[in-house]
A = this chain, B = another copy of it.
Amino acid sequence: MKITSQEEYGLRCLLQVAQLTVKNELASLEGIAKAEHMTTDYAAKLLSILRNANLIESVRGKSGGYKLSRLPSEIKLDEVIKVLSGELFEVNSCEQFPGNDDKCVHIDCCSIRSVWFSVSHILFALLKQVTLEDLLKKEDLLSKYLKKELILNL
């Protein structure tokens, strides 16, 4: 249960694209990488994940670049995080942790599983309340908003 590199840097790239999209410009790979102080190769890899998930679109060739597929207000963090690293705990795969067997010993009754399900559910309900548009705000503004709104709306 940790924020992964792919989530963190993938989201940063997406936010760079969002910033230019609202100005009606395309974001170039090189521009994104420079802004985020990362290599273009790594940025390219992350952007390809975002593109394959239809969060962004790319235009190839000279004067090409990336733009959001939808409005920033229509892209919610729960979707972004699922694209970048999947669910916290996959509902149909307690098989992720089968011990040394094919099948988990606890398949019939597992109190741990029910905690993961609840936590995962609430977590993604939280993330669903935050959009890329929110993330384009300044930190102090967003921070206040999150404190006021996040839990209340669960």
**Does A46 touch B at the CB level, under 8 Å?**
no
Partner of A1, one of B3, B135, B150: B3
**Does A15 touch B at the CB level, under 8 Å?**
yes
Asked whether A122 lies within 8 Å of B99 as measured between CB atoms, the reply is no
Point out the residues of chain B lying under 8 angstroms from A105, CB to CB.
Answer: 35-37
Q: How far is the CA of A154 from the CA of B133 in the complex (A)?
A: 26
Point out the residues of chain B lying under 8 angstroms from A96, CB to CB.
Answer: 3, 8
**Does A23 touch B at the CB level, under 8 Å?**
no
Interface residue ranges of A34-48 to B (CB < 8 Å): 35-39
Which one of A54-62, A63-71, A136-144 is at the B interface?
Answer: A136-144
User: In the assembly, how many copies of this chain are there?
Assistant: 2
Number of interface residues of A (CB under 8 A): 61
Partner of A138, one of B38, B111, B122: B111
Q: How far is the CA of A105 from the CA of B86 in the complex (A)?
A: 27
Among residues of B, the one whose C-beta sits closest to the C-beta of A144 is B114
Report A's interface with B, CB cutoff 8 A. 1-5, 7-9, 11-12, 15, 35-39, 77, 81, 85-89, 96-101, 105-106, 109-119, 122-123, 126-127, 130, 134-140, 142-143, 146-147, 150-151, 154
13 contacts between A and B (CB under 8 A): A1-B85, A2-B86, A3-B89, A8-B96, A8-B97, A35-B105, A36-B105, A37-B99, A38-B100, A109-B138, A111-B137, A113-B139, A115-B146
